[in-house]
Structures are given as C-alpha cells and as structure tokens.
Amino acid sequence: MPPERFIAFDFGAESGRAILGNLERKKIRLEELHRFPNKQINVSGHIHWDMSYLMAELKNGLRSAVESGYRELLGLGVDTWGVDFGLVGRDNQILGHPYAYRDPRTQGMMEKAFRLMSREKIYHCTGIQFMQFNSVFQLLSMVESQSPLLEQCETLLFMPDLFNFLLTGQKCSEYTIASTSQLLNARNKNWEPEIFEKLRLPFDIMAPLVQPGTSIGRLLPEIAEKTGTLPLDVIAPACHDTASAVAAVPAQSSNWAYLSSGTWSLLGVEADAPVITQDSLKNNFTNEGGVDGTIRFLRNTMGLWLLQSCLKSWQEQGDSLGYDELEGLAQEAQGFKCIVDPDDQLFLNPPDMPAAIVGFCRSTGQHLPDKKGEFVRCILESLALKYRFLIEKINAMRPKPVEVLHIVGGGSRNELLNQFTANATGLPVIAGPVEATAVGNIMVQAIGKKILSGIEEGRRVVARSFPLKDFHPADQDKWNEVYHRIKGMFS
C-alpha cells in the first residue's frame, strides 16, 4: 500500500501554501513544502487574481514535494476563499483573469437585484448573508454591463473548481464553495432556478455539483510529467477554505462555536439544517455548506484585514515592524481608548487603513489613535467585542447557548486577541490548530479515500495531532462595562 500522504493547496487572499499531510498511527503530521504571496493585479482599472501565476505556483508546490522525496501521493486537494469565479470558453480556454471580490464592479448591484427579486425571497431560497461581492452580484454586474465574456462562456467555475479543471480537465462545482455564491438553494443543495430567472442570469453555464471527498479525476499526464509526480487523484476537499477549517475544529463536546480567524473572521456554529428565519435575515447570518451534510450557520465579519492593511501602510512608509512587535506595542497601550465597528464600509478597501480608523473615531467622537500600539489595540479590542456581539445573536437564534469557542486558523496565533476574545465573550477559548484549513483539506481527502471513517474520527485525529492552548476569561467587569457602552455601534 502506498504511503498515506496527501498534498493540500491552500490559497488565501494574502498567500498560498502547499502542505504535505502524512497520516501515521492515526495522527496527521504536516510539512510545509512551498509558500508564495497571492498578488492581485490591476487590469484596465479592475482588480483581478493572476491565475497564470497561481497555477505556476501550484506546479512549483508539486515540484517541491518531489524534491522533498514525496513523489508518491494518494491525493491532491485545493481550497480557496469564496465567491470569486472564472469563466471557461467553449474551447476550454479560461476567459481572462478572474475578478477579485474587492473590485468595485458590484457597487449598486444588491439594490438592482432587490428590484427584480426581493431581499426576503433571495434569503429564503439561499440562506446566505448579503454582501455586495457575493457571486450572485458579481454575475449580475456582468449581465448589467453586457460583458462580452458571458457570450463566450460555456462554464462558470469557482476558484478551486477552476484549479481542479486545470489539473484534470473535468468541470464541476464542489458543494461548499458553491454554497457561498448565493445561487444555491440551502435546503435542497442545488442551484436555485428562480434566482437565475428573476435576475436574468445565465443558468446553463453552471457546472454540476459534487460533494466534499469526491475524486474529480486523475492529474493530467502533462502536469505529472512537468512536475515529476507519479499519477495521483485530484480530490475535492471542502473546497471553501472556511469549510475545511471548520471540518478540522477539534471539538470533543457539544454546544461549541468556531471562529475561523484570518483576513476575515467567520464565527458560527455547526447545524444539521439551515437556520432561515426573520431573525437570521435581520442579523445577516449565512448558511453555508459543510462536510457530511452539515450547515455552517455563521456571520462573515471583518477580521485581521484591518491589522494587515495597517501593517502594509506602515511598511510603505518605511517601517519594518512585524506582527509580533505590533502585538507587544498593543499590550503596552492603554485599553479601550477607542473602538470601531470592523464591518463599517470605511474598512472594506481603503487606500490608507490607519486614516480610515482615525476617520471612524473622529465621526463617533472618540479618542483619535496616533501611536501604532493604539491602532493595534483598538483593532484587537474591537474584534473581540464584535465576536461577543455575534455570539449573543447566535444564542438568541439557537435553543442552546454556546459554551466554548474554538479559534482556528492563522489568527489563532495572536494570543492577545485570543485572550481579549475570552474576556469579551466570557467563554473559555481553545486555540488551534493554526493550519486548520490545510488539516481539514487533508482530513477530507483521507475520508474520501476511506482511510478515515468520517468527520468524527477525523476530529479525534486532529485533537491528538496538534497542540491546543486554552484561554480563560479575565477582567469581566471592565469588558462588560465597555461592551454595554459601545454595542450600539455594531450591526
């Protein structure tokens, strides 16, 4: 039997990685093989992903596996962020670079959509949180602008589906990534014809759906030859990165919530069925697909994007501080001098994030941060307080309250944010694994290959494979006082 090794390609909005997963004695051992930045490109005033570059880096990751002695692999799985897609023409050529979700082409599209189909009806069908960059509004913007690409298009493929097509020649849409589009019916888990009809969107370009763990096909011989790998299966993990991360939550009890912490914060619970009510619509919660028939009932809220953008601005000014140094400055700064709503439109994609934070504080009559430590402390305290706000919303819509919060992903390394989150929510916090997305990707591949029996066994394997760190609430009186004073700014 070949070694139980899998390779996960995890493409994030900031960077991408090729990570080897080795299953030994019911434990997963990870080895990072290749890491690369993910760079958006500007083409004729629009923001795109550089698909040629990303595909080249994927091949470099395969070469790195071979160079590291891992030529024989059981599977390859790709996960990415949600909503963005590429178009494939009738000659199987990709039609231009995929648009990035921060491109402004979707401005005003939600309002246009609601004139054709009510907000309530769209939510009743899809159960998906309204965000202006959702796939449905990206596609509507192409229809409204009479994009010539739609005339040439045969198939729409979301980002991981596009990689799978380039790797195998097979066109399909994996369920968890498709569920982020606001084009899928949350209950029957198929494309929703009424949305396509009412919004005048092309239905025939949508690909057939497959579930996590499905083998898409064999790696194309020309790619295997150029990278030096032996033939292997390309397997659809949970192709949405958050779905993979949630699959890897090492929960061993009931009534837990998860926070996938990174550029975005995705906070929610795992449910057996969609939660589609007037309250979930009012609170803008989403029902995205998970592994093994589950639903990720969550709210997508801004995360460490604010900190990443501040760091970028400071680096452009010649400052070389890193995240660890900024966290130290935040610990030294005075607490609660100013709080922002991380989801305010000011912070979606400003040219200067520190200036945007100052602008928000000025408009709300608060202290104006000046030192870097003040900015970082403001961001981390604001995120923690927003997490409390969202957990209170979840508890109001579910029969049993959340009792423990699992933080996974890159943001779980930020110990100050983890402690602030425990303080703000009053919940015990369990942080880790850091590489939850890659772990979940590999875990679902192993389930697809029948090496693991299912998600419950997979989570037990994760719990004994990676170090976890506990954070317990502190300074409750002060955090409660601040929360009740400022929670009115959150929505």
Give yes or no for a contact between 209 and 175, defined as CB atoms under 8 angstroms apart: yes
Question: Which ranges of 413-473 would DSSP assign to H, the alpha helix?
Answer: 415-425, 436-448, 455-465
241 is known as an active-site residue: yes
Taking CA atoms, 292 is separated from 189, 337, 400, 422, in Å, by 13, 45, 22, 30
Instruction: Bin 294: left if φ > 0, else alpha if -120 < ψ < 50, else beta.
Output: beta
Give yes or no for a contact between 261 and 407, defined as CB atoms under 8 angstroms apart: yes
Q: Are strands 256-261 and 404-408 parallel, antiparallel or unpaired?
A: parallel
Buried b / exposed e along 358-385 (16+ C-beta atoms within 10 A): bbbbeeeebeebeebbbbbbbbbbbbbb
Question: Which ranges of 317-408 would DSSP assign to H, the alpha helix?
Answer: 323-332, 353-363, 372-397
SS3 236: coil
* 325 Cβ contact partners less than 8 Å away, ≥ 6 residues apart: none
* Catalytic residue from among 79, 233, 241, 344: 241
SS3 141: helix
Count, residues in the chain: 491
Active site residues: 241
